[in-house]
Amino acid sequence: MRGIDTDAGLVLAHRSAPPPLVQGRLVVREDRETHEERSLAVGATRSTGAGDRLRPEEPDPLRTCFERDRDRILHANAFRRLAGKTQVFVFPADHQRTRLTHALEVAQVATAVSRAVGLNVPLTEAIALGHDCGHGPGGHASEDALDLYLPEGYNHAIWGADVVLAPLNLCRETLDGIRHHSWSLPTPTTPEGVVVSWADRCAYSAHDLEDAVRAGIVAVGDLPAEVADVVGRTRSEQLRTFVHALVASIAEHGVVGMDAVHAGGLAALRAFNYERIYMRPESVAQGAAVIDVLRALVDYFLERPEALPVLTDPPDDPVRAVVAYVAGMTDRYAFDKAVQLLGWRQDRLPRGIDLPAA
**Residue 177 and residue 154: Cα distance in Å, rounded?**
18
**Residue 64 and residue 60: Cα distance in Å, rounded?**
7
- The reported pLDDT for the residue numbered 134 is 98
**With respect to CATH, is domain 65-348 assigned 1.10.3210.10?**
yes
34-40-41-47 Cα dihedral, nearest 10 degrees? -70
> For residue 85, which of 164, 149, 153 has the smallest C-alpha distance?
164
Q: Please enumerate in sequence order all residues whose Cβ is within 8 A of that of 346, keeping only pairs 6 or more positions apart, or say none.
A: 339
SS (H, E, C) 105-168: HHHHHHHHHHHHHCCCHHHHHHHHHHCCCCCCCCCCHHHHHHHCCCCCCCCHHHHHHHHHCHHH
Q: What share of the chain is helix, strand, coil (3-state, %, to 5)?
A: 60, 0, 40
Examine the pLDDT at 91 and tell me if it is beyond 60: yes
If pLDDT is split at 50, 70 and 90, which confidence band does 315 have? confident
> For residue 172, which of 57, 76, 255 has the smallest C-alpha distance?
57
Q: Please enumerate in sequence order all residues whose Cβ is within 8 A of that of 7, keeping only pairs 6 or more positions apart, or say none.
A: none
Rounded to 5°, angle at Cα 60 from 55 and 65: 65
Helix or strand run (H / E) with residue 12: strand 11-12
User: Which segment of 129-133, 165-169, 264-268, 352-356 scores lowest on mean pLDDT?
Assistant: 352-356
Q: Which of the pair, 310 or 133, is modelled with greater confidence?
A: 133
Q: Domain residues of the chain, as ranges? A: 65-348
Mean pLDDT, range 333-343, rounded to an integer:
96
Q: Which of the pair, 21 or 6, is modelled with greater confidence?
A: 6
Q: What is the pTM of this model?
A: 0.95
